[in-house]
Chains A and B, each alone.
Chain A
Amino acid sequence: MSPRPGFVLEVDRSTPPTLFWHGERFALERLPEGSRVVYAPEPTDPLADPVGAIRHALTHPTGDSAPLPALLRPGMRLTVCFDDISLPLPPMEAPDARQLVIEQVLDMAAEAGVDDVVLVAALALHRRMTEAELRHALGDRVYDAFAPHGLLTQHDAEDPDNLVYLGQTDQGEDVELNKRAATSDLLVYVNINLVAMDGGHKSVATGLASYKSLRHHHNPTTMRHSRSFMDAPASELHSANWRMGRLIAASGVKVFQIETTLNTDTFPKQFAFLQRREWEWSLRDRATYAATAAALDRTPARLARQVFHSIKAPHALTSVQAGEVEAVHAVTTANVWAQQGVEVEGQTDILTMGLPYICPYNVNSIMNPILVACLGLGYFFNLYRGKPLVRQGGVLILHHPTPWEFHPAHHPSYIDFFEQVLSETTDPVRMSEEFEESFATDPWYVHLYRTGHAYHGVHPFYMWYWCAHALEHLGKVIVVGGDPRAVRRMGFAPASTLDDALELARDVVGPSPTLTHLHSPPILMADVR
Chain B
Amino acid sequence: MKTLLFERSLPRFAAARVASALGAGRGAGVGPLRLVDAEPPELPAPDWVRVVPVLSGICGSDLATVDGRSSRYFEDLVSFPFVPGHEVVGTTEDGARVVLEPVLACAARAVDPPCPACREGRTNNCERTAFGHLRPGLQTGYCADTGGGWSAAGLVAHPSQLHAVPDAMGDEAAVLVEPAACAVHAVLSAKVRDGETVAVLGAGTLGLCATAALSHLVAQGRLPAPGALLVGARYPHQRRLAGELGATDALPADQLPRAVRRRSRSLGLGPPQRGGQRLTGGADVVLDCVGSAESIGQALAMVRPRGRVVLIGMPASVHVDLAPLWHREVSLVGAYAYGTEDAPTGAPLRTFDLAMEVVAGSDLGRLVSATYPLERFEEAVAHAGAAGRRGAVKVAFDLRHTHRRPTETKGHPR
Q: Which residues of A contact B (CB under 8 A)?
A: 408-409, 412, 415-416, 419-420, 438, 442-444, 447-448, 452, 454
B262 lies within 8 A of chain A by Cβ: yes
Given contacts A408-B275, A420-B255, A420-B262, 18 further A-B contacts (CB under 8 A): A408-B272, A408-B273, A409-B271, A412-B276, A416-B258, A416-B262, A419-B252, A420-B249, A420-B251, A442-B262, A443-B265, A443-B266, A443-B267, A444-B265, A444-B268, A444-B276, A448-B272, A454-B272
A420, A442, A444 pick with most chain B CB within 10 angstroms: A444
Q: Is the CB of B276 within 8 A of A419?
A: no
Residue B261 CB within 8 A of the other chain: yes
Contact A415 B258 (CB under 8 A): yes
**C-beta contact mask, B242-282 vs A, less than 8 Å → 1, else 0?**
00000001011001001101100111100111011000000
List chain B positions with a Cβ less than 8 A from chain A: 249, 251-252, 255, 258-259, 261-262, 265-268, 271-273, 275-276
Closest Cβ of chain B to A439, distance in Å, is 8
Q: Are A444 and B267 in contact (CB under 8 A)?
A: yes
The distance from the CB of B265 to the nearest CB of chain A, in whole angstroms, is 6
| A159, B64: Cα distance in complex, Å | 55
> How far is it, in angstroms, between the C-alpha of A76 and the C-alpha of B344 when the chains are bound?
69
CB distance from A407 to the nearest CB of B (A): 9
Are A419 and B268 within 8 A (Cβ)? no
On whether the beta carbons of A412 and B259 are closer than 8 Å, the reply is no
Q: How far is the CB of A379 from chain B (nearest CB, A)?
A: 26
CA distance A416 to B252 in the complex (A): 12
**Chain B min CB distance to A425 (Å):** 13
Query: Are A419 and B251 in contact (CB-based, < 8 A)?
Result: yes
CB-based closest 6 A-B pairs: A408-B272, A444-B267, A419-B255, A412-B272, A409-B272, A408-B273
- The smallest beta-carbon distance between B301 and chain A, in angstroms, is 15
In the bound complex, do residue B266 and residue A444 qualify as a contact, i.e. CB atoms below 8 Å apart?
Answer: yes
Distance A438 CA – B258 CA, assembled complex (angstroms)? 14
- Partner pick for B259 among A409, A419, A447, CB 8 A cutoff: A419
User: How many angstroms between the C-alpha atoms of A448 and B275 in the bound complex?
Assistant: 13
Q: How far is the CB of A452 from chain B (nearest CB, A)?
A: 7
Interchain Cβ contacts under 8 Å between A and B, 19 examples = A408-B272, A408-B275, A408-B276, A409-B271, A412-B272, A412-B276, A415-B258, A416-B262, A419-B252, A419-B255, A419-B258, A420-B262, A442-B265, A443-B265, A444-B261, A444-B267, A444-B268, A448-B272, A452-B272
Q: What distance in Å separates the Cβ of B274 from its nearest Cβ neighbour in chain A?
A: 8
Smallest Cβ-Cβ distance to B249: which chain A residue: A420
Cα distance A442–B268 in the bound complex, in angstroms? 12
Considering the complex, give the chain A residue whose CB is closest to the CB of B251: A419
- Complex Cα distance A409/B273, Å? 6
Chain A hits for B261, CB < 8 A:
444
Chain B residues in 8 Å Cβ range of A416: 258-259, 262
A454 contact set on B, CB distance < 8 A: 272
Contacts of B276 in A (CB 8 A): 408, 412, 444
Q: How far is the CA of A403 from the CA of B301 in the complex (A)?
A: 28
Shortest beta-carbon distance from A363 to chain B in Å: 18
CA distance in complex: A321, B262 (Å): 46
Residues of B within 8 A of A452 (CB): 271-272
Residues of A close to B249: CB separation below 8 A? 420
Give the complex CA separation of A180 and B326 in angstroms: 46
- B259 surroundings in chain A (CB, below 8 A): 416, 419-420
Q: When chains A and B are docked, how far (Å) is the Cα of A442 from the Cα of B267? A: 9
Q: Which residue of A lies closest to B255 (CB)?
A: A419
Q: What is the bound-complex CA distance between A346 and B144, given in angstroms? A: 85
Q: Please give, as numbers and ranges, the residues of chain A lying within 8 Å of B267 by CB-CB distance.
A: 443-444, 447
Measured CA separation A205–B154 after assembly (Å): 80
Residue of B nearest to A452 (CB): B272
| Whole-angstrom distance between the Cβ of B357 and the nearest chain A Cβ | 31
The residue of chain B having its C-beta at the shortest distance from the C-beta of A453 within the complex is: B272
Please name all residues of chain A whose beta carbon is closer than 8 Å to the beta carbon of B262 when the two chains form the complex.
416, 420, 438, 442
Chain A nearest CB from B190 CB (Å) reads 24
Compute how far the CA of A442 lies from the CA of B259 in the bound complex, rounded to whole angstroms: 12
Contacting residues, chain B, for A415 (C-beta < 8 A): 258
A116 to chain B, nearest CB (A): 36
**CB nearest neighbor in A for B267:** A444
- In the bound assembly, the distance between CA atoms of A59 and B272 in angstroms comes to 47
In the complex, residue of chain A having the shortest beta-carbon distance to the beta carbon of B271? A409
A513 and B252 CA atoms in complex are apart in Å by 40
- Which chain B residue lies CB-closest to A439? B262
Residues of A within 8 Å of B271, CB to CB, are 409, 452
Shortest CB distance A9–B (Å) = 45
In the assembled complex, the CB of A370 is this many whole angstroms from the nearest CB of chain B, namely 15
Rounded to whole angstroms, the CA-CA distance of A409 and B271 in the bound complex is 8
With a CB–CB cut-off of 8 A, which chain B residues contact A408? Answer: 272-273, 275-276
A443 to B268, CA, bound (A): 10
Q: How far is the CB of B262 from chain A (nearest CB, A)?
A: 5
Inside 8 A of B258's CB, which chain A residues have their CB? Answer: 415-416, 419-420
